Amino acid sequence: MTVNAAPPAVRTLLAAEDLRVSFVGTEVVRGISLSVAPGECVAIVGESGSGKSVTARSLLGLAGPGSVVRAGAFRIAGRDALGFGPGDWRRLRGRFAGLVLQDALVSLDPLRTVGAEIGEVLAVHDAVPRARRTERTLELLASVGVPDPAARARQYPHQLSGGLRQRVLIASAIAAEPELIIADEPTTALDVTVQAQILRLLAERKAGGTALLLISHDLAVVASIADRVLVMKDGRTVEEGPTGQVLSAPEHPYTRSLLAAVPSAASRGTRLSTAPPLVGAAARTAGESPAVGGGPRTAAELPPAGGGVRVAGEPPPVGRAVSRAWPVLAGVGLSKSYGARTVVDEVSFVLHEGETLGIVGESGSGKTTLARLALGLLEPDAGRVSLHRRPWSGVPERGRRPLRPRIQLISQNPLDSFHPRHTVGRLIAEPLSLSVSASLSASLSASASASRSLSRGERRDRVLDLLARVGLGPEVAGRHPRELSGGQRQRVAIARALGPRPDVLVCDEPVSALDVSIQAQVLDLLAEIQAEYGTAMLFISHDLGVVHHVSDRVLVMKDGQVVEEGDVEQVFTRPRHAYARALVAAVPRLPRARDVNVT
């Protein structure tokens, strides 16, 4: 998609000046000015809580109950929108402006076929005569690239994939042929190849003269389609200008930190966030030498990890960095089927000590099932898993228990993985009560210190140490995870996983639910931890940029099979398999984003 300069604004579809939206006294949008012309794509970029969605919604009179919208000037389609009543807004929506939301599953009525959904828009706006409605519905579905529209129109939203649902949503948004499409995170929930298709679809609409207001947290997505960008933070515009200029030569420090926080090939081995590493805290926890700042893999001088437990009689591997000599976790020929569906098909992998193995793939590729097999939460139908060269699959749970603390999970939604009523302190303490006391020595010759249970006081100290290690204060221990932000919750999850001093961390989409700057902090934290403890990581993500940033080696999965495997640079720069090539090609990229230096 080429980004041309915005066509000369013959007519402004929408212009708001000093737009302010407040909810019960709290102002969430504090003076935004923007205008959209036909055939132009304006993007509003910001992190959660920046007020970007509220801005978009109030432009359609959908700010919600309890909201007060004020503006210096607010013109829509040549009319003054300040005095609009509910009826005026209703006539405007659909006909003049279509709205595309992020989650198509909740935006579509589950009890109606998608054909009926689109037909309703046509009926409400009397876009076409009744007799032609079905025909027009199918035309619309075809125009957004839904294959076999006649069959799809009779299906319900849950029968469609995420990408198809998003297309249906776009089809219903454009059904009444609006002049403006407002798309709020239209591709956030989608796989990268599907995202590329949806972006292409939106770009086609734009080329056809439709104006596009795009709301996104993803700078790369914006880069590929928007003509102008508005960067929002705390309800204000911090920077505004042509896309190329804002993304390659940002003026505001916030824009710069936002750009620097995007993980990618170029960011390998560097810190993403601008916050300093947690050196002091690290030293306290480790009780050993202080954490190594800088790159995560300059690990030659690393101290031996506290949790390094080795099988008696076998030689300890030399060096704590990526030691290819010692496979901590390995799977051979793993298969898992549910009914007739094979979710994981003959997958083999090896995770060496201190190494990060990235697993990428789109939804449904079997990544998470593979993680569950690796964690011993699922038994493979065929193949076997070994942990520390000992059988990990095919053993009774009782036999696995002593080794359980060695391999820990960090999941995408930490809140789901927390007991709903426990405080942070109690959550982190839970694995501690077992990790040290559990009879590790029964199967592994543990170090002398690791064979007694912790006293209450020791456990409390350890919890505070762990909290400090992940950059949280001791006061957090008494709080409930619900009171914490998404990033803080993920830190708590990491602290909990670190408690038993695992050799392997299985990270299943650990940063996918986080804002880019928070994601940067969490990725930095994981890198610090790996550098400090030499923990091996199985890092699962759909985000190729993230995987490129963290991994030493990469496994690309598709339909349950590994289609490509190799060193991270090789996979990302010279992918051999066609699918891997398509995947890498579909990643939206920032223009020269790496020229940006964060100071």
Q: For other proteins, how many residues bind (rule: CB under 8 A)?
A: 27
d(CA 566, CA 153): 42
Give the range of 27-35, 97-105, 384-392, 419-427 binding other proteins by CB under 8 A: 419-427
74/539 with CB nearer other proteins: 539
Q: What is the 3-state secondary structure (H, E, C) of 153-168?
A: CCCCHHHCCHHHHHHH
The answer to whether 430 contacts other proteins (rule: CB under 8 A) is: yes
The answer to whether 418 contacts other proteins (rule: CB under 8 A) is: yes
* CA atoms within a 13 Å half-sphere pointing along the CA-CB vector of 365: 23
| Nearest approach, Cβ of residue 402 and other proteins (Å) | 7
- Calculate the CA 43 to chain-centre distance: 20
| Nearest approach, Cβ of residue 531 and other proteins (Å) | 24
The answer to whether 421 contacts other proteins (rule: CB under 8 A) is: yes
Closest CA to 204 of 170, 161, 243: 170
d(CA 499, CA 459): 10
Q: 68: part of which helix (H) or strand (E)?
A: strand 67-70
End-to-end Cα spacing for the chain: 32
Six token digits for residue 287: 């009780």
Six token digits for residue 9: 């604004």
| Nearest approach, Cβ of residue 256 and other proteins (Å) | 36
- Residue at token pair 């998003």: 166
- Angle, helices 424-435/486-498, rounded to nearest 10 degrees: 20
| Nearest approach, Cβ of residue 303 and other proteins (Å) | 26
The answer to whether 408 contacts other proteins (rule: CB under 8 A) is: yes
The answer to whether 431 contacts other proteins (rule: CB under 8 A) is: yes
* CA atoms within a 13 Å half-sphere pointing along the CA-CB vector of 325: 9
397/475 with CB nearer other proteins: 397
| Nearest approach, Cβ of residue 112 and other proteins (Å) | 24
| Nearest approach, Cβ of residue 456 and other proteins (Å) | 17
Residue 339: what residue type? Answer: G
d(CA 485, CA 445): 40
195/411 with CB nearer other proteins: 411
171/371 with CB nearer other proteins: 371
Binders of other proteins in range 455-514 (CB under 8 A): 500
Beta bridge mates, 543: none
Give the range of 91-99, 242-250, 358-366, 371-379 binding other proteins by CB under 8 A: 371-379
**Contact residue for other proteins among 130, 132, 419, 592 (CB under 8 A):** 419
The answer to whether 399 contacts other proteins (rule: CB under 8 A) is: no
The answer to whether 129 contacts other proteins (rule: CB under 8 A) is: no
The answer to whether 417 contacts other proteins (rule: CB under 8 A) is: yes
272/494 with CB nearer other proteins: 494
The answer to whether 106 contacts other proteins (rule: CB under 8 A) is: no
Give the range of 211-219, 401-409, 536-544, 573-581 binding other proteins by CB under 8 A: 401-409
The answer to whether 413 contacts other proteins (rule: CB under 8 A) is: yes
Query: 367 in helix, strand or coil?
Result: helix
d(CA 430, CA 462): 11
Six token digits for residue 99: 């709205």
| Nearest approach, Cβ of residue 131 and other proteins (Å) | 44
Determine contact, residues 312/445, Cβ cutoff 8 Å: yes
Give the range of 4-12, 134-142, 413-421, 446-454 binding other proteins by CB under 8 A: 413-421
Binders of other proteins in range 298-317 (CB under 8 A): none
- CA angle (96 as vertex; 92, 100 as ends), nearest 5: 95
Cβ partners under 8 Å of residue 75, min gap 6 = 12, 14, 15, 16, 81
Positions touching other proteins (CB under 8 A) are 375-377, 397, 400-405, 407-409, 411, 413, 416-421, 430-431, 434-435, 438, 500
